[in-house]
Structure 1
């Protein structure tokens, strides 16, 4: 390769022998046996062999000399991490046979060259996860053989060129996580074989084009996290999208109705519409407020019987009323249910235990008033439980009995904060839920002693018991939770000394023991002495670094008096 210096692995020894009837002896380099010309450079960051998968690296700048290898059909330099520089501006002028270009997962900067539009045989263009900037060149629309266009996770700006609608053979377009602006091209529906479209996490504005209803092959459509406005289009034609299985329109400024034609999308499994501005008259809409009994008839009679929805996301939709009963009997098992940030009232229903395939349940930020029903112990696959910021009360023992058929339990994330719970983790311990990584029980009315079984949470990374009425000594068993990174126990009634075993919490990055009744010397050593004074303030009996030094009177350590403010 003229002008290219590549350092790879031990299989590259001697001169590159690439001649007629003799393939290259360099791993990752392929030749045309008839002409002896190099046709493939496959040197990605992850290389699989029969025995293993290993990470390779390439440092330095991408050399423009690579374009001198004029017979190349495939360039794969993806995921090398250390490869920087710019995509050669002449890349489209010198590689007429290029079919696949993989430069993803590197540190490339600068624009996507206009000349790429000259690569008439290009089928796959993967430039994602770099630092590319500038606008999308309109010449990309000249790539009539292109099937995959993956440019996500860059810093690309400007509008999506209308010329993109000329990509009639395109199967996948992924431009998410850039800073693209302007409207979605009106003629986007002319991409008849498009299966996956992801324009999420940009700054797109305007209305959703009506022509999207013509994408008969589309299976995944992600337009979330933009500034799209207006009504969801397709009032009668949206149901033609019979292949659509995943749809995300959340985090926009959409208004209006949910089209009844949703019910014709027989493949729909996951739909997310939360955090929009749905409003309008009082008929079958997300309104201000959105009344559940006005939408139940739509779901029960039109949408529910004809779809296989397993994910339901209606967060932040202004929903009022009780949790609807129809959710207990669905044509397909619900796996994720999110009705957070609404105005739900009433109780947590006992029939929640019938959703036996449920993995995620989020009813946070509502006005639910009840106890946690015993039936939740049937949810053996529940991994995420978020009920924070409600008015729930009583014990929380049932949560720690979920999935007892499994030795380690199923829960990994539990947030019951900002409720009226009074007992649970104190008396009952943690049950079989030893796989919990995040546990937040703060801002409740928990009393008494923290059970020693808290030490069984070997995977726990965050524990927040702050703003309760917990007392007695700090649980020494926490010293066994070596994975702990955040520990918040402030504003309780803990007494006694800080256990010296806490020095074993070497991964601890955040600690707050303030506003308790702790006394004695703070155990000397990392990580405890690295935290600021605010981590220990409000405990009048504490002394030692980072607080004021302790004085010895006889054999008793006491706090040195502090000067008045």
Structure 2
């Protein structure tokens, strides 16, 4: 009994060390910090319970996101990731009085475009700082360089270049933070720095400088960091140089990603030390030469991305010596030769893309592997022969794209029931569409256009694909579609339907059973009369092409589709005027009503549509004066030729600073030469032929008139006098003729202009038809 009090003291002593209550100063600081912010749970897609649960009556060491020292009870770590915090952290915030802080994570909150507060540098014990994706912007405070104990720094953002590093701050931070292991500055602005200032810590394990405007020459220093495992430098378009010998690189290097830069030269052939490399991405650079065989036998490499380079030659036959590959992406190179049958030995391969190359010959008749392959893309090569049956029998295949080749023969039976995307466009396939296609209940993309199919298919069969998003059957030889007039076809997820050049004589009865259809292409058929009401009622449509039919529908009916961006009803039998109601389709970007029998004037509102890029009303019977209400806009192509327009040229056209094509030829316009067009910086085509223009051609005194002009036709007018010599000398683009120009790095973009009608020009008295502006012409 006498020793009981000692036992009680022992228990009290033990309890006091196993549960230390929050330090009063730190508790008060956290409560003031909570009071300075609000909670917006919609900012982050996942919300953890954080400061809302902080209450004065409870122990702050038990609060969500708070960690305390087990003895001193001071707050040492604060993790409020996705806490829904909103507001600004001011320099006088009580947050900065938590002097024992070692780890601070405020990622994925909303700090209202405020600057990172300069007192951040007062956390002298801080080892981990994460302010990523929290809506900070502006200059990084120089005081951040005081955090000499940092081991991890993440300031990555989703809005490009909103955080800016000055060179002095950058250099001092790297100089002081010698223990830095993880550095992520994705999309920060490092344009004031260069590769020469990258005095990086030898402790670095992960370095992410994606899309940072980093410039200069890639140096060996960064590649030879002794502990580096993950290097991400992609998206720095001013980063140049060659990839040097990688024998100095850390043997533990796991990820090397330097895509979308300006690197060139050959890919080095020494990789023997990179035994832990799993991802190697040099895509979208200017590398040339062949793929080094030593790269392909690295024991752990499973993802190789070299697309968008100038890699040439045949695929090395050592691919089969490594069976770890999961992803091979080699599209847009100059790889030639046959596809080696040894590819099938890559048992772990999940994704294979060798599109846009020069692979030729037939595919191997038999393979023994590819059991895990989910994506096979051999688009735009020179492959021929019949498609072997194994392509349609791979058990895990999700996406098969063999488009743009020269395959012949019929379509084999399909037993890859996992297929979701089947793309066979642009081949020479013959015979009937295999009935087994309609067993692929998971299909989202079915593209069979531009082949030589025959036979007849009931259109109702395609409605079996309830997940179908894209259906393209255009220009499929003698293939015909049977539509049942009493059937409303249902496609609940269809986004694009292309039935162009199918010989259709009637519209399919689609009604509202296609609630999300955005693109409808029915051009070059035999459709006549008026467009059915269901098409006008489909408010999801963004793009409609009905060109080259025999339609007589009034133009104003299309104004019901308010969201419409692209409308092509050219080469039809449209009559009547263009009602101003067409302007209700206020999102129009491309309107083509050319080659019809339209009359009347152009509505004033049409040339004021805010998103209009292309307007083609040529080859009609439109009359009256041209609108003079062109404001500053993004109009790129205006083709009003071959009509009956009269009166003066609208001087407000000089506001169209993006204009590239202007064709007003073969009208009855009466005016002097429009010298005010000289200031348009992008004008490539100017055709004013066959009008009633008159007088001398005077020069508007500018540094460079018509700087981009390629086609200039003012023939068959009433001009007098010569074209001034200074004027002709200013046609710089006509002088600099580049033939067979090779674009070294392929680009995926819409060709200029988006669509341009053939242009009639006069040269040396002869009338010529140009389908593209490959020739430079200047005739009086």
Task: Tell me the TM-score normalized by structure 1.
Answer: 0.82
2:466/2:492 contact within 8 Å kept: no
Aligned-pair distance for 1:401?
A: 2.2
| Counterpart check, 1:391 vs 2:534 | no
Tell me the secondary structure at the aligned position of residue 356 of structure 2.
coil
Tell me the secondary structure at the aligned position of residue 471 of structure 2.
strand
2:694/2:717 contact within 8 Å kept: no
Tell me the secondary structure at the aligned position of residue 478 of structure 1.
helix
Q: For structure 2, which runs of at least 5 residues remain unmatched after alignment?
A: 1-164, 187-200, 675-687, 696-715, 721-764, 766-780
Match of 2:628 in 1: 500
| Counterpart check, 1:227 vs 2:382 | yes
Summarize deviations over 1:58-110 as a string: whole Å, max 9, x none. 1111012334423322221111121111111x213443221110111111111
In 2: Cα distance, 1:163 partner to 1:121 partner: 19
Summarize deviations over 1:202-250 as a string: whole Å, max 9, x none. 111122234555211111110121111222123xx55652211110111
Residue of structure 2 aligned with 1:216, choices 371, 387, 409: 371
Instruction: Within 5 Å, give how 1:30-429 maps onto structure 2.
Output: 37-46=202-211, 56-88=212-244, 90-210=245-365, 212=367, 214-234=369-389, 237=390, 240-260=393-413, 262=414, 264-278=415-429, 286=430, 290=431, 292=432, 295=433, 298-299=434-435, 302-305=436-439, 307-330=441-464, 332-342=466-476, 343-345=478-480, 350=485, 351=487, 353-370=489-506, 372-373=507-508, 375-398=510-533, 400-403=535-538, 409-426=539-556, 428-429=557-558
By relative contact order (CA 8 Å, sep 6+), the higher-ranking structure is 1
Task: Tell me the TM-score normalized by structure 2.
Answer: 0.60
| Counterpart check, 1:16 vs 2:181 | no
Tell me the secondary structure at the aligned position of residue 484 of structure 1.
coil
| Counterpart check, 1:538 vs 2:689 | no
Match of 2:588 in 1: 460
In 2: Cα distance, 1:137 partner to 1:347 partner: 53
In 2: Cα distance, 1:532 partner to 1:65 partner: 47
Match of 1:283 in 2: none
Aligned-pair distance for 1:387?
A: 0.9
- Quickly say closer, same or farther: Cα 1:102–1:536, change in 2 above 3 A: same
- Quickly say closer, same or farther: Cα 1:8–1:421, change in 2 above 3 A: farther
Match of 2:12 in 1: none
- The alignment covers a number of residue pairs equal to 504
- Quickly say closer, same or farther: Cα 1:307–1:210, change in 2 above 3 A: farther
In 2: Cα distance, 1:212 partner to 1:454 partner: 57
Tell me the secondary structure at the aligned position of residue 504 of structure 1.
coil
Aligned-pair distance for 1:15?
A: 4.9
2:458/2:483 contact within 8 Å kept: no
1:214/1:240 contact within 8 Å kept: no
In 2: Cα distance, 1:200 partner to 1:533 partner: 34
Match of 2:104 in 1: none
2:637/2:662 contact within 8 Å kept: no
Match of 1:511 in 2: 638
- Quickly say closer, same or farther: Cα 1:256–1:561, change in 2 above 3 A: closer
In 2: Cα distance, 1:221 partner to 1:146 partner: 19
- Quickly say closer, same or farther: Cα 1:25–1:416, change in 2 above 3 A: closer
Aligned-pair distance for 1:471?
A: 0.8
Aligned-pair distance for 1:23?
A: 3.9
Summarize deviations over 1:266-314 as a string: whole Å, max 9, x none. 2111111222223xxxxxxx2xxx3x4xx4xx41xx4433542232111
| Counterpart check, 1:430 vs 2:559 | yes
| Counterpart check, 1:469 vs 2:597 | yes
- Quickly say closer, same or farther: Cα 1:68–1:172, change in 2 above 3 A: closer
In 1: Cα distance, 2:673 partner to 2:530 partner: 38
Aligned-pair distance for 1:321?
A: 4.6
Aligned-pair distance for 1:337?
A: 1.1
Tell me the secondary structure at the aligned position of residue 16 of structure 1.
helix
- Quickly say closer, same or farther: Cα 1:41–1:9, change in 2 above 3 A: farther
Structure whose alpha-carbon radius of gyration is higher: 2
2:670/2:693 contact within 8 Å kept: no
- Quickly say closer, same or farther: Cα 1:267–1:488, change in 2 above 3 A: same
Summarize deviations over 1:514-535 as a string: whole Å, max 9, x none. 1111111121133479879971
Greater shift in the superposed pair: 73-82 or 9-18 = 9-18
| Counterpart check, 1:484 vs 2:484 | no
- Quickly say closer, same or farther: Cα 1:376–1:12, change in 2 above 3 A: farther
In 2: Cα distance, 1:533 partner to 1:214 partner: 53
Q: Once superposed, what is the RMSD of the aligned Cα atoms?
A: 2.9
- Quickly say closer, same or farther: Cα 1:123–1:137, change in 2 above 3 A: same
Match of 2:571 in 1: 443
